[in-house]
A and B are shown apart, each in its own frame.
Chain A
């Protein structure tokens, strides 16, 4: 049997094809693009909420998609412990749907930012980081206008090990210069209490093939490899 991953397509998703491409052609799993109204969780071992501008990001990034029936389906997966990742707009959707804590606000600069950054892995015990060494520094791009992570409950996140990755410099040091958008504590990705659901502002699907990477790295793949590993361990 092959692993089946759903890539959910909301009106306005635009990294949906990219995620499908990487899963199918780079990771060699069976990924399917599914229109949000047609998503049925029972057919899948995991799901990806891709980047983009669902419903134009009108009102607030992610909020309208968070009300889609696809999210109710995904909630079943969440409770069941299957892996779910929200990338960029997907992360925004998952915070608005309260799968994940906190919120993503407009970048401090008020500008969209597209660039490669470094992130450090703070927690490698999640469904998407179990194949990465803790404290490794990864090279990966961001592309967003609303990526400033905020929570009114930082202590709880820290106590529960819910911070997954942070923006750092090349050497893994957390500094203001390496914070591209004004995120609290340089947070770039978080997970739920159970660690089967994560949200990332950076785009692993854009960093999974060496030809796309300025330094020839493929660090984005690590997140998907971890997901596959996690699914294999659970049994599918």
Chain B
């Protein structure tokens, strides 16, 4: 790392020589050590998106292109108008590196951070979701330890703040063994008026700048630089102390902030996350076109003797910055006093366009407000990995096991089994909004009290598919998460994403990123889904093997359901009803669970996405909903449609009598047909008398629908009409296997 000097003090920075020269030219002088530190942080990959910005350009016009988008990428969170005067804010973020070394506090402070992002859009955080990736659990105490404490960290923090964790997703794969992924998402609900009250900008000169919440300590200085390198590059000693979260203080911050916003006196609001005060102040003033004079003496610190460098760069948790109208100061301070939150007026905004920080007599920071946010971008090289060709050529081996045995192995595999062990630890009901709860549907559904509207939200992607084909795989993630909200009756409204990739300086890693973004972009444009935010986490590499994680562009979708009667749930409900498979099953087993669980391979060609068929399928389902023709719905993914059907039997202990004679339209081998992971399919339950009308609507939309059989009251699944033998499965046994896998692995 290059070193810079100022006044005899030396500092190692993560800036390129070119950046260093540019900074000196811009200021026309040697920056102070504090200023160097601020540039270092703000130009880090984590804050500046310097490698990813060239690709993220595609995302930049959501507000212009979609009326419902109130805030798009670039803001702390995406915000959409959902009618009746309400808006939703949502965002997803990664907290991978801290969680990999300290799963409990790493995950907890991840939740803390995402809550702040939502809060500073002026709305109340009402739900959390947690897409996770770990190494496989079996015989692997390290992965078990990570999962156990990540879940506990999320639970302790989310539960205490009173924000329900309404869903999530988890995959287990070797590539995440030392670099697990902890992504966290939050949804906020408020009125459009609340949102307009508190932009994360300081537009007006003369306003007070108030710091509220926890005190500023020496912890977490340079957390963002940590997130901008691989774990190996940072030796134990270099690693900043992982932050300790304080959910109780966060809860108080939420209540005090919301009460403050309601007064109308707050004119700007910003959370202190990566880069601490530096980052918050430069964004507030830089983007607001103002400047500010801050007096360091007023910043309350946890320990005596902190230097201006430490104070400006501290990433201590649980702090917020408020920009307050002069006439509102008294009222706002009274609110902070009521909640007994530490706070201080640390300065005022002005029209200088310069951010100045005074430490006694000295001006330790004196920078144009926009200087810090203008980080240069870097055009990275991309190259597709050499190993992919060989992987794509791998074929599905001839089955050596009975189909029934395979079913048992799949239903109890780590990636397909029930995730109840996780979500039981989350309070998923606080707030009395949770209508479809964890495990009852593909997405979490929340009511908006006082309206007849419901929000559905889902997160996920398939890392194995993305590894084989990032372009199709990223689209597949969109198909799956959209499919999850659609399965519950919702129309997808908008998306945010969290891109988890390897070292962008490696052309292969950057290629994955680049192709995944192309996929996201193309899909969203065709299906008219606004992209309202994202987060990029690079440098996720396996410390020991020096290989990258499987590329994981996690997608988060929110959708809206109008009317309680339009909520659809997953379980089969009534014996006698039809079981229909929507969508075409092709021989698409690349990166499937079938391959990895049964044969230990991960090659083949993963599912391809055809946007026009996907769109037709969605419109078809929404039409069925509007005519009240669907009793249950579950989208098909890992393990194929037979796993989907089994899962639909579990809750009410029902069974299925299937005859597949006419449904294998591509004449596939039995195992390939059953376990294919072709995207965009659903299994629905409908009344037998509605069969003809459903087929008619399907034809109008050009969607392939096949009746597979009927629901039966006995808990067994009978599969006839295969090329080879019939299969007889015991639902109780399958349910037991599905339920016991995680507890058995975790409670040794």
A interface list, Cβ under 8 A from B: 11-12, 14-15, 17-18, 21-22, 25, 35, 51-53, 55-58, 111-115, 141, 143, 145, 203, 205-206, 209, 211-212, 214
Contact = CB atoms under 8 A, between A and B. Distances in A.
A113 B73 CA distance: 37
B427 A58 contact: no
Which among A18, A51, A112, A203 has the highest number of chain B CB atoms within 10 Å?
A112
Contact of A114 (B156, B248, B427, B564): B427
Given A11-B340, A22-B432, A53-B160, A112 B440 contact: no
B262 to A, nearest CB: 14
Which among A14, A18, A211 has the highest number of chain B CB atoms within 10 Å?
A14
B146 to A, nearest CB: 16
A14 B251 contact: yes
A209 B432 contact: yes
Which among A15, A51, A113 has the highest number of chain B CB atoms within 10 Å?
A15
12 contacts: A11-B248, A12-B248, A12-B252, A15-B430, A17-B431, A21-B432, A53-B248, A111-B424, A111-B425, A114-B424, A206-B429, A212-B432
B251 A211 contact: no
B638 interface: no
B447 A211 contact: yes
Given A18-B431, A53-B248, 17 more contacts: A12-B251, A14-B160, A14-B161, A35-B338, A51-B430, A52-B162, A56-B160, A56-B246, A56-B247, A56-B248, A111-B155, A112-B155, A114-B427, A143-B430, A203-B429, A211-B447, A212-B429
Interface string B156-171: 1001111000000000
A77 B188 CA distance: 38
Interface in B153-189: 155-156, 159-162
B159 A206 contact: no
B428 interface: yes
A58 B249 CA distance: 12
B599 to A, nearest CB: 35
A35 B339 CA distance: 9
B435 interface: yes
A214 B424 contact: no
B426 interface: yes
A113 B424 contact: yes
A214 B651 CA distance: 11
Contact of A214 (B161, B162, B338, B437): B437
B434 interface: yes
Interface residues of B, number: 33
Which among B246, B427, B435 has the highest number of chain A CB atoms within 10 Å?
B427
Contacts of B447: 211
Given A11-B340, A57-B160, A143 B429 contact: yes
Interface string B30-73: 00000000000000000000000000000000000000000000
A14 B162 CA distance: 5
Nearest to A58: B248
B1 interface: no
Nearest to A203: B429
What 8 pairs across the A-B complex have the smallest Cβ distances? Answer: A14-B162, A56-B248, A53-B160, A18-B432, A143-B427, A112-B425, A114-B427, A112-B155
Contacts of A212: 429, 432, 434-435
Contacts of B748: none
A44 B561 CA distance: 39
Nearest to B249: A56
Given A12-B248, A35-B338, A114 B160 contact: no
Contacts of B437: 214
Interface string B410-453: 00000000000001111111111011010010000001010000
Which among A15, A113, A114, A141 has the highest number of chain B CB atoms within 10 Å?
A114
A116 B426 CA distance: 13
A9 to B, nearest CB: 9
A112 B338 contact: no
B338 A53 contact: no
B188 to A, nearest CB: 15
A157 B93 CA distance: 50
A64 B337 CA distance: 19
A214 B440 contact: yes
A14 to B, nearest CB: 3
Interface in B335-352: 338-340
Contact of A55 (B156, B248, B339): B248
A42 to B, nearest CB: 22
Given A14-B161, A21-B449, A55-B248, A206 B428 contact: no
A206 to B, nearest CB: 5
Contacts of A141: 429
A114 B429 contact: yes
Given A18-B430, A212-B432, A11 B339 contact: yes
Contacts of B440: 214
A213 to B, nearest CB: 10
A22 B429 CA distance: 14
B252 to A, nearest CB: 6
Nearest to A37: B338
A206 B432 contact: yes
Contacts of A115: 424
A18 B163 CA distance: 12
Which among B248, B426, B435, B447 has the highest number of chain A CB atoms within 10 Å?
B248
A24 to B, nearest CB: 11
A57 B162 CA distance: 13
Nearest to B435: A211
A66 B3 CA distance: 55
A52 B247 CA distance: 12
A75 to B, nearest CB: 23
Nearest to A25: B449
Contacts of A57: 160
A141 B427 CA distance: 10
B102 to A, nearest CB: 19
Given A12-B160, A21-B449, A112-B425, A205 B432 contact: yes
Contacts of B249: 56
A209 B564 CA distance: 13
A145 B151 CA distance: 14
A115 B440 CA distance: 12
A111 to B, nearest CB: 5
Nearest to B432: A18
A15 B161 CA distance: 10
Nearest to B433: A212
A14 B429 contact: no
A112 B432 contact: no
Nearest to B152: A111
Nearest to B567: A211
A22 B433 CA distance: 12
A194 to B, nearest CB: 30
Contacts of B156: 112
Contacts of A53: 159-160, 162, 247-248, 251
